[in-house]
Amino acid sequence: MPKKPITIPRFRNAEQEANWWESRDGKRVATELMKHAIGTGQVRRRKVALKTVTMRLPEPDIEAAKDLAFRKGVPYQTYIKMLLHEAIENERRST
């Protein structure tokens, strides 16, 4: 039985995309993409060391981050880390 080709549909919005990646087809495609990346040597370990930090953030900001992260289908701490990284990169470019 031949394998189904790897196809990712076009999405109207982030919610539709997140729902698709959580579906059976989305998970199958993610698995196949990862297998392909591993097989071709494209997967590499992070070269930057990570350090754990503790921050006190306003609860409304945390709740907003959780809501936005949920809509994007990512964990909220990952989402906050992405926002911080993006803000730092933007600052670096502007100076």
| 39, 51: one domain | no
pLDDT of residue 32: 87
At 63, give phi and psi (nearest 5°): -65, -40
Within a domain: 57: yes
Mean pLDDT of successive 10-residue stretches along the chain, which has 95 residues: 76 91 90 86 78 95 95 91 94 91
**Token representation of residue 47:** 């070269």
Q: How far apart are CA 67 and CA 41, in angstroms?
A: 35
Which domain CATH number covers 60?
1.10.1220
pLDDT of residue 43: 76
Question: What residues make up the domain containing 55?
Answer: 47-95
| 35, 61: one domain | no
| 51, 94: one domain | yes
| 35, 73: one domain | no
Number of domains in the chain: 2
